[in-house]
A and B are shown apart, each in its own frame.
Chain A
Amino acid sequence: MIHFKRLNDLLSRKYWAPVSAVKEHKGEAMNTLYNFVSGPLAWVAFIIFFVGCLYRLIRILVLVHKKEKYIYTYMSWKYSFRSILHWVIPFATVNWRKHPVLTIVTFAFHICLIITPIFLLSHIILWDESWSVSWWSLPDSLVQAMTLIVIGSCIFFLIRRLISPEVQYVTFASDYIILAIVAAPFVTGFMSYYQWFGYQVFTILHILSGEIMLIAIPFTRLSHMLFSPLTRAYMGSEFGGVRHARDW
Chain B
Amino acid sequence: MKKCFPILLLLLTVSLFFLVYAYSQEDMRFINAEAFENPQRPPTVFNHDEHNELAQIEECNECHHIYDKEGKRVEDESSEDQSCSDCHEPKASGRKPALMKAFHINCKGCHKEKGKGPVMCGQCHVRRPNVED
Contact = CB atoms under 8 A, between A and B. Distances in A.
Pairing of A with B: yes
Interface of A: 12-14, 17-25, 28, 31-32, 34-35, 121-122, 125, 128-129, 139-140, 192-195, 199-200, 203
Given A21-B124, A140-B41, A193-B122, 16 more contacts: A18-B127, A20-B129, A21-B118, A22-B45, A22-B47, A22-B54, A23-B133, A24-B118, A24-B123, A25-B54, A122-B121, A140-B40, A192-B122, A195-B127, A199-B120, A203-B122
Contacts of A13: 128, 130
B12 interface: no
Interface of B: 38, 40-41, 44-47, 50-51, 54, 100-101, 104-105, 108, 111-112, 115-124, 126-133
Given A17-B130, A20-B133, A28-B115, A139 B122 contact: no
A192 B123 CA distance: 11
Contacts of B46: 21-22
Contacts of B124: 21
Contacts, number: 84
Contacts of B105: 129
A203 B123 CA distance: 10
Nearest to A202: B122
A interface secondary structure, majority: helix
28 contacts: A12-B130, A13-B130, A14-B130, A14-B133, A17-B129, A18-B122, A18-B128, A21-B44, A21-B45, A21-B118, A21-B124, A22-B51, A23-B133, A24-B118, A25-B54, A25-B117, A28-B116, A31-B111, A31-B118, A32-B115, A34-B120, A122-B121, A125-B101, A129-B108, A140-B41, A192-B122, A194-B127, A199-B123
